Amino acid sequence: MTQVRAVYLDYNATAPIRPEAAAAVARALEVGGNPSSVHAAGRTARNLVETARAQVAALVGAAPRAVTFVSGGAEANALAIESAVAAGYEEIIVGATEHDTIRASAAAAGVDVAEWPVSSDGVADLEWLDARLAAGRRTLVCLMLANNETGVIQPVAEAARRVREAGGWLHVDAIQGAGKLAIDFEGLGADTLSLSAHKIGGPQGVGALIAGPRARLTRRIHGGGQERGLRAGTENVSGIAGFGAAAEAATLDLPRLAIESAGRDSLEAIVLATGAEVLGRGAPRLPQTLCFAMPAFAAELQVIGLDLVGVMVSAGAACSSGKVKASHVVTAMGRPDLAACAIRVSGGWATTPDDWARCAQAWSQIQARHAARQKEFA
């Protein structure tokens, strides 16, 4: 009996590891040296770390010295926020659809936090930002490059100009945009920018914060001189090496991935024909991300139904200990009625047209069965 290949369309949660990254991790594990040691093994380990630093920097058009390796995107976001507060910024503006790691870190920072509203398509309101910045407070502004649930791309460069004119600090969570959009750190205008290896096909548990010349970072973990004194503790050499290899592969793969939206668009047409609503449809979006909601069809039922036939997707962000909960992103877009019904389908570097087609077929079948049950019990 032929076994049907499972379809993985949850790249925005974690991308499958790229072969180049897996090989780099294995090679680094064989080295075994501490990158702070001066002997041959230590120097080899140090070379792996610095090579990866250059590879990650190249992915976003930054200088290697701007890269600080951390444990992942959550720590990168926290380091940026805590550094800005330590530097005297007295208010944090957080986009209403930002990732929970930004929202929670801002809430815990001990300064005023303002929620920046978005349009019905999930795009940040720049006029609101102008009015808020006019108050003249030293402000940290957090605006993600692309939303993890809807794929909506934010007007970061336009926001950056306004923030800089007001003397503020702009932090950009680029975790979902990296490897899918061309990023020029200097041209984007961000002061800090966060990345995560496992979103681009690298290993889990490693990320980076990119910092420009206007940002003054503050050490979060004390006791050692690693990462230019910003983060004590022996570097995760194998993870960092895998991150670098994934970044290099993603850079080479970017021209193809940046235009590969045909599968997403075909699935979108099918779900729209059934009466589902696509979130962020009127805004620029990542080419491999689709968020849609079928009214009165709970997200967890859709996710479970698809999983039972070998198609893996998510409901909202995958950072809630496996729980399916109503999406704050969809609520912020003015659709609380759909917040518990929205699912996210996301592809990436190894996704095939057949994956999208099988997802479309499977979802159409479970939706038809759900509609039949509703009609039966109406």
Residue 285 token pair: 């979006």
For residue 107, the tally of other CB atoms under 10 A from its CB is: 12
Q: What is the CA radius of gyration of the chain?
A: 21
Taking a C-beta distance cutoff of 8 angstroms, is the pair 125, 133 a contact? no
Helix, strand, or coil here: 323?
coil
Residue 322 scores a pLDDT above 60 = no
Count of alpha carbons within 13 Å of 12, Cβ hemisphere only? 28
Query: What pTM does this model have?
Result: 0.94
pLDDT at 321: 42
pLDDT at 324: 59
Number of Cβ atoms within 10 Å of the Cβ of 143: 25
* Region 19-254: CATH code: 3.40.640.10
**pLDDT tens per residue, range 166-190:** 999 999 999 999 999 999 999 999 9
With a CB cutoff of 8 Å and minimum separation 6, the contacts of 356 are 9, 263, 264, 266, 267, 347
For residue 224, which phi and psi values (nearest 5 degrees)? -155, 170
pLDDT digits (tens, 9 = 90+) for 272-285: 999 999 999 999 99
Give me the chain's average pLDDT, please.
Answer: 94
For 7-16+258-377, give the CATH class. alpha beta
Q: Please give the biggest Cα pair distance in the chain.
A: 75
Q: Is the pLDDT of residue 267 over 90?
A: yes
Q: Which residue do the tokens 């064989």 mark? A: 30
> Which phi and psi (to 5°) does residue 263 adopt?
-65, -45
Share of the chain above pLDDT 70, in %: 96
Mean pLDDT (whole number) for 80-96: 97
Q: Which pLDDT score, from 0 to 100, does residue 1 have?
A: 47
**pLDDT beyond 60 at 318:** no
Q: What is the per-residue pLDDT for 374? A: 83
DSSP 112-137: EEEEE-B-TTS-B-HHHHHHHHTT--
- What is d(CA 102, CA 170) in angstroms, rounded to the nearest whole number? 13
Domain boundaries, the chain: 7-16+258-377, 19-254
> Is pLDDT above 50 for 320?
no
pLDDT digits (tens, 9 = 90+) for 92-146: 999 999 999 999 999 999 999 999 999 999 999 999 999 999 999 999 999 999 9
Q: Which residue has the tokens 């920046």?
A: 116
Dist. CA 241–CA 197, nearest whole Å: 10
- Out of 142, 291, 319, 359, which one is annotated catalytic? 319
Q: What pLDDT does 23 receive? A: 98
What's the pLDDT at 232?
Answer: 85
Three-class secondary structure of residue 293 per DSSP: strand
Query: What's the distance, CA 296 to chain centroid?
Result: 28
Q: Measure the CA–CA gap between 329 and 98, rounded to whole angstroms.
A: 8
For the segment 249-261, the average pLDDT, to the nearest whole number, is 93
pLDDT at 105: 97
| Section 19-30 average pLDDT | 97
The fraction of the chain above a pLDDT of 90, given in percent, is 88
Dihedrals φ, ψ of 146, to 5°? -145, 140
Q: Is 319 a catalytic residue?
A: yes
For the segment 186-202, the average pLDDT, to the nearest whole number, is 98
Which tens digit of pLDDT belongs to each residue from 366-378? 999 999 988 877 6
Binning pLDDT at 50, 70 and 90, where does residue 51 land?
very high
**Beta-bridge mates of residue 210:** 67, 193
Which residues, listed in sequence order, are joined to residue 311 by a DSSP beta bridge?
7
